[in-house]
Amino acid sequence: MYIINDASTLNVEWTKGRTSGPDDNCGQFAKGPDSGVYFSHSKAPNGPAFYLNAGEWEAMKAGFRDGDFENL
């Protein structure tokens, strides 16, 4: 994983999660290079974005599916 300091510098099409609300719950994702994924907060367009490579993204999705993060 690495950090991009300003998400607005990325030439990507962002997709917000369907549970994103009008207030603070606004996660967004975009396809990155080599099947990786960027994610950021849509309310902070000039804020940081994070990039997960394909393996990291698959591991994160599996963790969500398997309930690994339920205690957070």
Binned at pLDDT 50, 70 and 90, residue 1 comes out as confident
Over residues 26-61, the pLDDT tens digits come to 889 999 999 999 999 988 889 999 999 999 999 999
Handedness of CA 28, 18, 64, 54 (dihedral sign): negative
Nearest partner of 45 among 2, 17, 12, 70, judged by Cα: 12
CA distance 35 to 32: 6
Binned at pLDDT 50, 70 and 90, residue 62 comes out as very high
Domain spans, the chain = 2-65
Q: What is the pTM of this model?
A: 0.83
Cα separations (Å) of 6 from 1, 19, 21, 29, 45? Answer: 15, 24, 22, 14, 8
